[in-house]
Amino acid sequence: ETELSKAIFQTKWLRKKKMKYVVVSGGVVSGLGKGVTASSIGLILKSCGFRVTAIKIDPYLNIDAGTMSPIEHGEVYVLDDGGEVDLDLGNYERFMDIKLTRENNITTGKVYKHVLEKERRGDYLGKTVQVVPHITDAIQEWIERAAKIPVDGQSGPADVCVIELGGTIGDIESMPFIEALGQFSYRVGSENFCLIHVSLVPVLNVVGEQASLLRLVSFGVFILTMSNIMWSNCLQKTKPTQHSVKDLRGLGLSPNILACRSTKPLEDNVKAKLSQFCQVPMENIVTLYDCPNIWHIPLLLKEQKAHEAILHVLNLTGIAKEPALEEWSLMAKMSDKLHVPVRIAVVGKYTELLDSYLSIHKALLHASVARRKKLVIDWIPASDLEQGAKKENPDAYKAAWKLLKGADGILVPGGFGNRGVQGKILAAKHARENKVPYLGICLGMQLAVVEYARNVLGLADANSAELDPNTKNPCVIFMPEGSTTHMGGTMRLGSRRTYFQSKDSKSAKLYGNRSFVDERHRHRYEVNPAMVPRFESSGLTFPGKDETGQRMEIVELPNHPFYVGAQFHPEYKSRPGKPSPLFLGLIGAASGELDNVLQQSCQESVGSRPHSNGKLERLYWKGAAKKPVSVVYSVCDRVCS
């Protein structure tokens, strides 16, 4: 009878289905982890059987993140359609295993540009164009439009849209979006709108009078007895969250759920206090306390029944499945227990802010977990490897080279500008001459070619036209379709196809001997096709090219254990449980297991791998018998045992 009632409810819901919206806001301070929280909520809802999409709202005036410094804002994440977006969209894609579009990143610049273009066309018919209602209406229309875009490979809109509001409640630039979301919640109805507010509950050491009272208590002196107070050496303070919720409600939004960041789980008396002053039920208050890695956050939310609170607010309790996160849980726990290290040196320009290379970090992590290795990354500022640093800062120079020489593998990521370029070239040279596994991405690939031209072909002045426009031996040149006057959105962006020229290359084998792959790009310069014959005749190969055969996509050194460069950015499509093949190759080579990785990539068998919804996907490899072969497939690492 219960199952019948549930089936009837599901049928009725499907007939009159409306999009459900989960909004994640943040208070007190920035950097609390709203992006990871939103991603985790999306993963849990997906594991409950719902189709999920995501939107990130960034209140800055930039049209997109493409022209922003990685040191200031973190990496620029690139989507299949060429959108240059905030790094949080990378978290959404990795956790929920979806493919978003540029429409899923809303910025103040985009909204105002859209409204002003309408005003110039006369669409407002002489009306005075104002923040309310024109900007707020445009925001709401954008949300509804973006939420309907399929992102999971299926047709039709998703069931739930997770929206992250960037910034902190109280920021001036966020005001139009908060007003728009307040109106939006009324428009769609309370049963279709759930607001989760992420706030900080700091833990302070006891000082002053409180410390004196504790000392008296420890000596057995009776001071005060209250059943809801727990004496300890630390106190969890709720006042910042109280004020944040007060500000939020004053702006027209009331949170349904509180997600409290803290160093330890909230005590019951703290939850009771928050519930009373913030007017949120105790069961709707969850703690996001510090975890060994962010893969534990969805499990943390599930343990505290956050999904039940969300489903209750959205009136989805009757049709939701129990979250299936067994495989995700196993992956998170296995990651904590890895102890055999693999040390990778990342030689970059923006190492002072590690978020500048967030996708690189995650792709290395996915691959190392797949090979059951504990990832150790040495972040090396490229300029510290240069001769100038030897004179100006000899300690940094010595430390950088010590790390580089002690690495099991070297990765040189993309970047722009001259700073640190010579250090990256020296890193590529060290890897080539000492047979250290090397992966160069975008600029890292181009500089590997420059290094080869200088030190193998003997072209001492070989360079990239980006770095030296007057070089007589331009190994890397400006692409003819690029713009020399505008920076934003003018590069070769998004998913492009790379065709393998031979199945004998390591890169082709890593990709399973497919004839082509689609990977995401972000560059203005390319390897000079006029110099390719000279490179190939001296032993440097280009096993991957574009559809014309004139644009070099992959470079390899065949007589090296692993020396690969890619013009594209393979890190953007790496996923937990489905690591990028090139990163898998680097980790495999760095840990002495490349042959096994290549064999497993090329051979076909039967197995399973975890989806981001926690379920297992049956995997039939080429050449396998139609009847499933009996194997045990280890979680998330493609290793048969």
- Residue 587's pLDDT is 97
Nearest Cα to Cα of residue 430 among 414, 399, 457, 451: 451
Which amino acid is residue 240, in one-letter code? Answer: P
* Packing angle, helices 358-370 and 88-96, rounded to 10: 20
Instruction: Kindly state the helix (H) or strand (E) to which residue 280 belongs, with its residue range.
Output: none
Distance between CA atoms of residues 25 and 167, nearest Å = 8
Span 571-599, average pLDDT: 94
- Residue 206's pLDDT is 62
Would the pLDDT of 34 be above 50? yes
Nearest Cα to Cα of residue 104 among 76, 156, 60, 64: 64
- Residue 219's pLDDT is 41
- Residue 600's pLDDT is 86
Would the pLDDT of 397 be above 50? yes
Question: Which tens digit of pLDDT belongs to each residue from 261-282?
Answer: 998 899 999 999 999 999 999 9
Reported in sequence order, the residue ranges of 73-231 that DSSP labels E, i.e. its strands, are: 77-78, 84-85, 105-107, 160-165, 193-200, 203-205
- Residue 31's pLDDT is 84
CB 325 within 8 A of CB 44: yes
Q: How large is the greatest C-alpha to C-alpha distance in the chain, in angstroms? A: 88
- Residue 28's pLDDT is 87
Would the pLDDT of 145 be above 60? yes
Question: Which tens digit of pLDDT belongs to each residue from 347-381?
Answer: 999 998 989 999 999 999 999 999 999 999 999 99
**Taking the mean position of all CA atoms in its chain, how far away is CA 541?**
32
pTM: 0.87
- Residue 29's pLDDT is 87
Radius of gyration of the chain (CA): 27
**Taking the mean position of all CA atoms in its chain, how far away is CA 2?**
40
Question: Which tens digit of pLDDT belongs to each residue from 287-345?
Answer: 999 888 899 999 999 999 999 999 999 999 888 999 999 999 999 999 999 999 999 99
Would the pLDDT of 177 be above 70? yes
Would the pLDDT of 443 be above 60? yes
Span 416-425, average pLDDT: 92
- Residue 141's pLDDT is 97
Query: Residue 23's beta-bridge partner residues?
Result: 163, 195
End-to-end alpha-carbon separation of the chain, Å? Answer: 44
CB 264 within 8 A of CB 289: yes
Span 621-634, average pLDDT: 31
- Residue 214's pLDDT is 41
Name the least confident of 311-325, 337-351, 484-498, 509-523.
484-498
Token pair 């009331």 is found at 254
Nearest Cα to Cα of residue 144 among 114, 99, 106, 110: 106
Would the pLDDT of 555 be above 50? yes
Distance between CA atoms of residues 310 and 299, nearest Å = 15
Query: Residue 566's beta-bridge partner residues?
Result: 441, 554
Would the pLDDT of 582 be above 50? yes
Q: Considering the chain, what is the average pLDDT of its residues?
A: 87
- 290-324: b (≥16 Cβ within 10 Å) or e: eeeebbbbbbbbbebebbbbbbbbbebeebbeebb
- Residue 433's pLDDT is 96
Catalytic residue ranges: 442, 569, 571
Query: Residue 31's beta-bridge partner residues?
Result: none
**Banded model confidence at residue 630, pLDDT cuts 50, 70, 90:** very low
- Residue 485's pLDDT is 64
Would the pLDDT of 619 be above 80? no
Would the pLDDT of 583 be above 90? yes
Determine the Cα angle at 547 with ends 543 and 549, to 5°.
55
Question: Which tens digit of pLDDT belongs to each residue from 94-129?
Answer: 999 999 999 999 999 999 999 999 999 999 998 999
Three-state secondary-structure class, residue 497: strand
